[in-house]
Chains A and B, each alone.
Chain A
């Protein structure tokens, strides 16, 4: 089975570039250039240098002593929370900003949900002296105020998206519209979503996560492959990066956790793969939450970064082929898991990452199995939600 993108930009039946003609030139430009750039020695060495001495990679693979004792197995945490700016998002923005620079772009557009991708984009724009415009749902602007302040301090302009549910989907619509109106800008997408080549490009840039896990496990366990890797899925970028180098390693169980919100049998959920059907959103064919008239349903999750009605096409494909198991965790599960991690390991995870941690209660492990959970980000931005709910 092939889990990689084909030469037309599809993962099986999913993916492609369903974009208005207005974006054709931009997408063609990117598609024609991205692989050559990503594979060039110049890019590779600059990317590696920045990940090392700016982002602070490699991030630790922490053995979670107390959690392991609690669950009677061996649990490792991949510490993306320790990256500069506090989440995995910067792995991607460093790569894309180098690409943008290569293409001679001067103005950067981004969408953001929790604000982590917005902060990571504002950060690299400051570093490279590029103009930065971040679209963020008006509701998210409210619930993630600290990240709005960070973006502004970094010199970015934050534009609240006031259409629809005023969350990530709407911010993405506005970012794409901005790109249509400003075709010489670079659109720096924050997850493995959007038209080809974005899903593949972002997967490659996040694949550093699984590359490091392999190297680190050899030192810890004398083997490259864990028994199981668990990651949360909003658009799916940290999961795509965490699974990337294990996709063809059949003995590794891959588990992705979606946000169930108040429950997958309620109307307040964001569990796209669990309840979604095939359709088209933000330029790609994938699974999405829609009604029987093809109108996109507004998702809900306590976590702003998982509050998205679509999912990257790679995940639609991995779900369909059965390579990855998709489960979901409710708001309540996530809050509980965050508390467990804080009290047992001294780590406050992002609410998004707490969904991955919640899987530990949902899966039966054998004794001495090696489990890697991706802590995609830290919880500073979510303190208000935690204080109100714990």
Chain B
């Protein structure tokens, strides 16, 4: 069974998923970061594949991706780093990246390498659902890799239903109309979106702008858990990763 499914079967609230870019802050930190997060009791991790032009991300993640690229990170090297990760890390692992990098690597090679190192799912924000279903779905299935879809406050009801039934593993609910790195502000529109997503029965996590214990707790009331990215990257940069995780919980 896919590790993402096992996670949601065993736990349905307060799931904490952490995002950080591969090769950050130092080139060889990818696996040590994963081990640290597992030890700290994190439930799942999204490893960012650094890209020069991450459209859905804010300046903090773009800067971190740039640092990682300057460190010498490459997709081939990432798979090399992850070769033995399953000896020490058992939580579900997701790769998040932009379609150009994956296309350039070659989808089939990419999925094969994901399977080999033990990746469970992918988040590719600029690969639209229709394109995925038309051209790539069977390849993902062949290698047992989940494609995790995003929904956001602007998503209309019929589209949301489509995303719910098409997503694999869980649905990634973007907290607000923003790129990553903001901070969650709850207004009326936001609240009605949150009330709407609370009804979703498919496993779901809320992400974008969750940066402390308060926003983590709050979002956990509306989904099975939350995803923390930018705030964790800041903690990593300041060498305070462990403390940050224990404060979140």
* Chain A positions near chain B (C-beta within 8 angstroms): 16-22, 24-26, 163-164, 169, 173, 176-177, 180-183, 278-283, 290, 292-296
Flag if A21 contacts B104 (CB, 8 Å). no
Contacts of B102 on A, CB cut-off 8 Å?
294
Flag if A181 contacts B103 (CB, 8 Å). no
Contacts of B58 on A, CB cut-off 8 Å?
177
* Chain B positions near chain A (C-beta within 8 angstroms): 51-53, 55-56, 58-59, 62-63, 69, 74-76, 98-105, 125-129, 131, 149-152, 154-156, 159, 163, 174, 177-179, 182
Flag if A293 contacts B126 (CB, 8 Å). no
Flag if A181 contacts B163 (CB, 8 Å). no
Flag if B126 contacts A283 (CB, 8 Å). yes
Contacts of B98 on A, CB cut-off 8 Å?
280
Q: A163-B59, A181-B179 are known contacts. Are A21 and B100 too (CB-CB below 8 A)?
A: no
Q: A180-B178, A182-B177, A296-B52 are known contacts. Are A20 and B150 too (CB-CB below 8 A)?
A: yes
Flag if B56 contacts A24 (CB, 8 Å). no
Flag if A20 contacts B126 (CB, 8 Å). yes
Most chain A CB inside 10 Å of its own CB: which residue of B53, B69, B127, B154:
B53
Flag if B62 contacts A294 (CB, 8 Å). no
Complex alpha-carbon distance, A367 and B128, angstroms: 52
**Which 4 interchain pairs have the tightest Cβ spacing?**
A294-B104, A294-B101, A280-B100, A20-B125
Complex alpha-carbon distance, A292 and B100, angstroms: 11
Q: A177-B58, A295-B69 are known contacts. Are A279 and B100 too (CB-CB below 8 A)?
A: yes
| Closest Cβ–Cβ distance, residue A275 to chain B (whole Å) | 15
Complex alpha-carbon distance, A196 and B152, angstroms: 21
Contacts of A280 on B, CB cut-off 8 Å?
98-100, 103, 126
Question: Could you pull out 29 A-B pairs where Cβ atoms are within 8 angstroms?
Answer: A16-B131, A18-B126, A18-B128, A18-B131, A19-B128, A20-B55, A21-B128, A22-B125, A22-B150, A24-B128, A24-B154, A25-B156, A163-B63, A164-B52, A169-B53, A173-B55, A176-B55, A180-B55, A180-B178, A180-B179, A181-B179, A280-B103, A282-B55, A293-B74, A293-B75, A293-B104, A293-B105, A295-B51, A295-B69
Complex alpha-carbon distance, A177 and B101, angstroms: 20
Q: A17-B128, A21-B155, A181-B177 are known contacts. Are A292 and B52 too (CB-CB below 8 A)?
A: no
Contact partner of A292 among B104, B128, B149, B182, CB < 8 A? B104
Contacts of A17 on B, CB cut-off 8 Å?
128
Complex alpha-carbon distance, A280 and B151, angstroms: 22
Across chains A and B, the number of contacting residue pairs, with CB separation under 8 Å, is: 102
Contacts of B154 on A, CB cut-off 8 Å?
22, 24-26, 183
Most chain B CB inside 10 Å of its own CB: which residue of A26, A176, A281, A294:
A294
Complex alpha-carbon distance, A25 and B157, angstroms: 11
- 10 extra A-B contacts, CB within 8 A, seeds A279-B100, A290-B100: A20-B125, A21-B163, A21-B174, A25-B154, A25-B156, A26-B154, A163-B59, A181-B182, A182-B177, A294-B100
Contacts of B51 on A, CB cut-off 8 Å?
294-295
Flag if A180 contacts B126 (CB, 8 Å). no
| Closest Cβ–Cβ distance, residue A155 to chain B (whole Å) | 25
Contacts of A283 on B, CB cut-off 8 Å?
55, 126
Complex alpha-carbon distance, A182 and B155, angstroms: 14
| Closest Cβ–Cβ distance, residue B140 to chain A (whole Å) | 17
Flag if B103 contacts A294 (CB, 8 Å). yes
Complex alpha-carbon distance, A18 and B105, angstroms: 18
Contacts of B149 on A, CB cut-off 8 Å?
21
CB closest chain-A residue, reference B51:
A295
Flag if B125 contacts A295 (CB, 8 Å). no
Complex alpha-carbon distance, A209 and B134, angstroms: 37
Contacts of A180 on B, CB cut-off 8 Å?
55-56, 177-179
| Closest Cβ–Cβ distance, residue B50 to chain A (whole Å) | 8
Most chain B CB inside 10 Å of its own CB: which residue of A19, A21, A296:
A21
Q: A21-B125, A183-B177 are known contacts. Are A164 and B55 too (CB-CB below 8 A)?
A: no
Flag if B177 contacts A22 (CB, 8 Å). yes
CB closest chain-B residue, reference A21:
B150
Flag if A290 contacts B178 (CB, 8 Å). no
CB closest chain-A residue, reference B101:
A294
CB closest chain-A residue, reference B74:
A293
| Closest Cβ–Cβ distance, residue A12 to chain B (whole Å) | 15
Complex alpha-carbon distance, A177 and B75, angstroms: 25
Complex alpha-carbon distance, A280 and B152, angstroms: 23
Contacts of A26 on B, CB cut-off 8 Å?
154
Q: A25-B156, A292-B104, A295-B51 are known contacts. Are A19 and B178 too (CB-CB below 8 A)?
A: no
Complex alpha-carbon distance, A183 and B178, angstroms: 9
Complex alpha-carbon distance, A198 and B17, angstroms: 36
Contacts of A282 on B, CB cut-off 8 Å?
55
Complex alpha-carbon distance, A26 and B53, angstroms: 21
CB closest chain-A residue, reference B77:
A293
Contacts of A176 on B, CB cut-off 8 Å?
55
Flag if B101 contacts A295 (CB, 8 Å). yes
Q: A18-B99, A292-B104 are known contacts. Are A181 and B178 too (CB-CB below 8 A)?
A: yes
| Closest Cβ–Cβ distance, residue B107 to chain A (whole Å) | 12
Complex alpha-carbon distance, A177 and B62, angstroms: 12
Flag if A279 contacts B103 (CB, 8 Å). yes
| Closest Cβ–Cβ distance, residue A329 to chain B (whole Å) | 27
CB closest chain-A residue, reference B76:
A293
| Closest Cβ–Cβ distance, residue B104 to chain A (whole Å) | 3
Contact partner of B179 among A24, A177, A278, CB < 8 A? A177
Contacts of A25 on B, CB cut-off 8 Å?
154-156, 159
